A and B are shown apart, each in its own frame.
Chain A
């Protein structure tokens, strides 16, 4: 089989590399190498890569994990984030008899809880975090634009959603050492019980992280 080798322009190489970024490292190298070797032009190569990544995405969504991460964690957490943000910001503005310490503790609890949700989401379905992030941001952006309530973006979009995203985008490892994971879960549970800013069920993501924590210090498994 005769083949010629043509290197696509550096601009196309960059586009193709970005398009193939969701593939595993080895597979990305092999696919880009195949397309280079077969002298496939830039646009056709892009279509080929999009075709492969689409097939990979569809295959992932045949499992239950992406659905739990997207519809079971990301979307409910986004709505809960907005509700808690609204409640907290109103209490902060009106004070409503709440001591400053309670407001600060509530904010800290919500930050830790947002981070634990993001982390749990990544642990459940690490390959579909992009879709989960979009699912988490959409309700927040929709409500902000629809109701034009400026208290939502201030806390939800600027504070809690970044914490949520930091949990997702943080260190590559999806398992943590047992002691910090247990301390986080216990702190969030006690915080929710005492402060009442969230339903107690929202301690579950932190307990999920604690349950799958390792004794050996949480070495990378990604």
Chain B
């Protein structure tokens, strides 16, 4: 079972495809999900996801736009896709019939 922040990273990684790396994942979580995402939280969670076998990461070639520094590229594994799908399905099932009306 994964947590909410782990799901956000997996979802952002899936949307970004081959362009998924630290800065792009962080930017997507902050702009699309409107959630704060610190570098510390992101990188420690990436480590955890990699330990669980849900993603793989590799360090790419340095690029000029990053001051000549390499990217940590992120790729989903089949287990990662399954875990994200399971999390989403669980949230969806639980949300059926929920109106989110304020208590009287």
Number of interface residues of B (CB under 8 A): 26
Assess the B39–A49 pair: CB atoms within 8 A.
yes
Selected from A5, A26, A34, A59, the residue in CB contact (under 8 A) with B59 is A26
Selected from A26, A36, A48, the residue in CB contact (under 8 A) with B39 is A48
CA distance A42 to B88 in the complex (A): 37
Number of interface residues of A (CB under 8 A): 25
Interface flag for A38 (CB, 8 Å) = yes
Assess the B38–A1 pair: CB atoms within 8 A.
no
Give the interface SS of chain B, mostly helix, strand, loop or mixed: helix
Contacts of B21 on A, CB cut-off 8 Å? 30, 34
Contacts of B70 on A, CB cut-off 8 Å? 26, 29-30, 33
Contacts of B69 on A, CB cut-off 8 Å? 29-30, 32-33, 36
Assess the B28–A36 pair: CB atoms within 8 A.
no
> Shortest Cβ distance from B95 into chain A, in angstroms?
27
Assess the B27–A1 pair: CB atoms within 8 A.
yes
Selected from A1, A5, A49, A52, the residue in CB contact (under 8 A) with B66 is A5
Contacts of B66 on A, CB cut-off 8 Å? 5, 33-34, 36-37
- As a 0/1 sequence over residues 59 to 101 of chain A, the CB contacts with chain B under 8 angstroms (1 = contact) are 1000000000000000000000000000000000000000000
A-to-B contact residues, CB < 8 Å: 1, 3, 5, 7, 13, 26-27, 29-38, 48-49, 51-52, 54-56, 59
10 contacts between A and B (CB under 8 A): A1-B28, A7-B67, A31-B39, A33-B70, A34-B21, A37-B65, A38-B23, A51-B39, A51-B40, A55-B41
B-to-A contact residues, CB < 8 Å: 16, 21-24, 26-28, 31-32, 38-41, 43-44, 59, 62-63, 65-67, 69-72
